[in-house]
Amino acid sequence: MKIDIDQNRLTRELNELAAFSDVPAPAVSRIVFSDQDLRARAWLKDLCAKANLDVREDAVGNTFARWHGSEPAAPAVGTGSHIDAIPHSGRYDGTVGVLGGLEAIRALQASGFQPRRSLELLLFTSEEPTRFGLGCLGSRLLAGTLDPAADETLRDSEGSSLQEIRTRAGFHGPLSSVLLTPGYYDAFVELHIEQGPLLENRGVPLGAVTAIAAPASLRIDIQGQGGHAGAVLMPDRHDAFLAAAEIALALEQAARSTGAIDSVATTGVCDIFPRVINGIPSRVNLEADIRDIDADRRDRMLVHLEQTCTEIAARRGVTITPEFINRDAPATCDPRIVSAIAAVCDENGFRFDRMVSRAYHDSLFMSRICPAAMLFIPCRAGVSHLPDEYSSPEAIAQGTLVLAQTLAKLANS
């Protein structure tokens, strides 16, 4: 069976999808349930219909496009990713897995392959946390790891609830209906750019992902005492920002002190009040992200952070209140799927590395309900979430070919 990936078509479609954006090229901004997101969804559904795939959507907008196999009642083999994009980002994050997944199915159709298990492309809703402050919204609901009460508790910056926003976008029904039935998928494989530099640095074209790191994300509220920058003497100060700065440095030290390269910590948000040059900061809100592929090691970092906050609060005379946004467990990728990816690479003479994903993806949550794994391709200089994010057409086509052959193996195994 000869499988041909239409590299030109795939490149053209990636460029067309990038044009659904709220900002000029080369940057992409496509926030979930925005006008551009809904236009992009309609465009994608049209492509799926042209490929003779049966398309359905659930109550939160997860979109399923199925090529029925000879045993339609058997658990399906899934692939896919997301198309929402954070503000001023790039055109390859998530989209390679969606359009690459579609192209893999079309290539298998054109080759004359007949799947026993159905093959299904899955577009996840809101992998990015931009609008609601919580990533992987669609896959969390599919896996049952998010309480349907999120319909009211999750709100955007304008104060609108998830229920209000999804209803306006045309997605109806209770969030509880999004949960997939047990055994829905026999396997799930996500193609993605690495979002890091390792494959490119090693000169290796493909990565078979064996584990996916997961974050603990938290908000940290620091309440100090404001005052005039000239009138309050240094011994009398309770500066909320200086306490916040110590917390950020403590997070860095916690990650460095584990001795493990997979331990990382980032303070990505620092909002200061009143934010004037001649006023002592009275309040600061931090948002931090702590990740590891080892849950126990990550949680030890969190204990260290808690102890440090207590010490800083007492020493500086401020109040520090941490609040978890999420605290997800890492995932181990399914060995059977990883072996299938490795076998396809070996059969084609393609070099690959077994590696971990330090970014987290919808596959993390799919692994809670079905065997799941990921396939990485290089991106230039490891740059992602920026306008100069880039993966070559050749790398994308090669990853799509490996995906197609892996799907074929899994569908008929």
Percent of the chain with pLDDT strictly greater than 90: 96
Looking at residue 258, what is its pLDDT? 95
User: At which of 308, 327, 346 does a domain end?
Assistant: 327
Q: Report yes or no: 243 and 320 within 8 Å, Cβ to Cβ.
A: yes
- Average the pLDDT over 11-40 and give the result: 98
CA dihedral 291, 388, 91, 134 (to 10 degrees): 30
12/74 Cα distance (integer angstroms): 34
Whether omega for the bond prior to residue 26 falls within 30 degrees of 0, making it cis, is yes
The model's confidence at residue 326, banded by pLDDT at 50, 70 and 90, is confident
Q: Report yes or no: 60 and 180 within 8 Å, Cβ to Cβ.
A: no
Question: Are 105 and 139 members of one domain?
Answer: yes
Looking at residue 227, what is its pLDDT? 97
Question: Are 234 and 176 members of one domain?
Answer: no
Domain that holds residue 355: 7-213+330-411
The model's confidence at residue 17, banded by pLDDT at 50, 70 and 90, is very high
Question: Are 308 and 391 members of one domain?
Answer: no
Longest dimension (CA), the chain: 80
Q: Report yes or no: 85 and 94 within 8 Å, Cβ to Cβ.
A: yes
Percent of the chain with pLDDT strictly greater than 70: 100
CATH number of domain containing 283: 3.30.70.360
Mean pLDDT of the chain, nearest integer:
97
Q: Is residue 232 part of a domain?
A: yes
Minimum mean pLDDT range among 152-161, 210-219, 365-374, 390-399 = 210-219
User: At which of 271, 304, 327 does a domain end?
Assistant: 327
> Among residues 130, 120, 51, 202, which one has the least CA distance to residue 411?
120
Question: Are 202 and 257 members of one domain?
Answer: no
Q: For the purposes of burial, counting CB atoms within 10 Å of the CB of 261, is it exposed (0-12), middle (13-18) or buried (19 or more)?
A: exposed
The model's confidence at residue 182, banded by pLDDT at 50, 70 and 90, is very high
Q: Report yes or no: 405 and 396 within 8 Å, Cβ to Cβ.
A: no
DSSP result, 382-402: G--SSTT----HHHHHHHHHH
User: At which of 327, 362, 388 does a domain end?
Assistant: 327
Question: Are 78 and 198 members of one domain?
Answer: yes
DSSP result, 252-284: HHHHHTT--TT-EEEEEEEEEES--TTEE--EE
- Give the dihedral sign, CA 132/136/142/146: negative
Give the position of tokens 């992200």.
289
Question: Are 222 and 197 members of one domain?
Answer: no
Amino acid code (one letter) for 23? V
Q: Is residue 1 part of a domain?
A: no
- Average the pLDDT over 137-153 and give the result: 97
Number of independent structural domains in the chain? 2
Q: Report yes or no: 53 and 105 within 8 Å, Cβ to Cβ.
A: yes
Q: Is the pLDDT of residue 215 over 90?
A: no
Question: Are 104 and 115 members of one domain?
Answer: yes
The model's confidence at residue 214, banded by pLDDT at 50, 70 and 90, is confident
Question: Are 228 and 95 members of one domain?
Answer: no
Question: Are 184 and 323 members of one domain?
Answer: no
The model's confidence at residue 172, banded by pLDDT at 50, 70 and 90, is very high
CATH number of domain containing 386: 3.40.630.10
Looking at residue 244, what is its pLDDT? 98
Question: Are 17 and 160 members of one domain?
Answer: yes
Cβ neighbours of residue 115 closer than 8 Å, sequence gap 6 or more: 67, 69, 70, 77, 108, 408, 411, 412
Task: Enter the tokens of residue 63.
Answer: 């979109």
- The tens digit of pLDDT for each residue in 273-285 reads 999 999 999 999 9
Q: Is residue 386 part of a domain?
A: yes
Question: Are 180 and 128 members of one domain?
Answer: yes
- Average the pLDDT over 374-395 and give the result: 97
- The tens digit of pLDDT for each residue in 51-98 reads 999 999 999 999 999 999 999 999 999 999 999 999 999 999 999 999
Q: Is the pLDDT of residue 387 over 90?
A: yes
Looking at residue 331, what is its pLDDT? 94
Looking at residue 1, what is its pLDDT? 79
Q: Is the pLDDT of residue 325 over 90?
A: no
29/90 Cα distance (integer angstroms): 8
Q: Is the pLDDT of residue 35 over 90?
A: yes
Phi, psi of 146 (to 5 degrees): -125, 130
Q: Is residue 105 part of a domain?
A: yes
Q: Is residue 2 part of a domain?
A: no
85/390 Cα distance (integer angstroms): 14
